[in-house]
């Protein structure tokens, strides 16, 4: 069983290179993994579902695609995105 871990990515629109690398990670190494654990602070700030957020929507869609391909996705809240 392959389990992959990531933490403290602090994704935000002002750091597109980190976001691109994370999306590449989801499409590459994560493919075929049994599980992906995201251990806090995935986003620089998460203000809740009531605030429109294109970056959050794109990441959610990408994680949904990972899950639909059979990889279990676990997300732990961090101090920056505790409203997830």
For 19-71, the pLDDT digits (tens) are: 999 999 999 999 889 999 999 999 998 877 777 889 999 999 999 999 999 99
> Has residue 82 been placed in a domain?
no
Domain that holds residue 43: 3-76
> Has residue 55 been placed in a domain?
yes
Confidence of residue 5 (pLDDT cuts 50, 70, 90): very high
What pLDDT, on a 0 to 100 scale, did the predictor assign at position 53?
A: 87
Instruction: Please count the structural domains in the chain.
Output: 1
Helix orientation angle between 54-68 and 16-27, rounded to the nearest 10 degrees? 10
> Has residue 83 been placed in a domain?
no
What pLDDT, on a 0 to 100 scale, did the predictor assign at position 57?
A: 92
What pLDDT, on a 0 to 100 scale, did the predictor assign at position 33?
A: 97
Question: CA dist 13 to 1, 18, 43, Å?
Answer: 33, 10, 10
What pLDDT, on a 0 to 100 scale, did the predictor assign at position 61?
A: 96
Can you tell me whether residue 7 is helix, strand or coil?
coil
* 3-6 and 35-39 strand pairing: parallel
Lowest mean pLDDT among 8-12, 41-45, 72-76: 41-45
């Amino acid at each position: 069983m392959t389990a992959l871990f990531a933490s403290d990515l602090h994704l935000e629109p002002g750091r597109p290179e980190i976001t691109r690398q994370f999306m590449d990670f989801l499409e590459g190494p994560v493919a075929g993994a049994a599980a992906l654990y995201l251990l806090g602070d995935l986003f620089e700030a998460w203000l809740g579902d009531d605030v429109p957020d294109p970056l959050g929507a794109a990441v959610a869609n990408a994680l949904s695609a990972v899950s639909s391909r059979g990889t279990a996705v676990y997300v732990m809240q961090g101090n920056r995105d505790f409203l997830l």
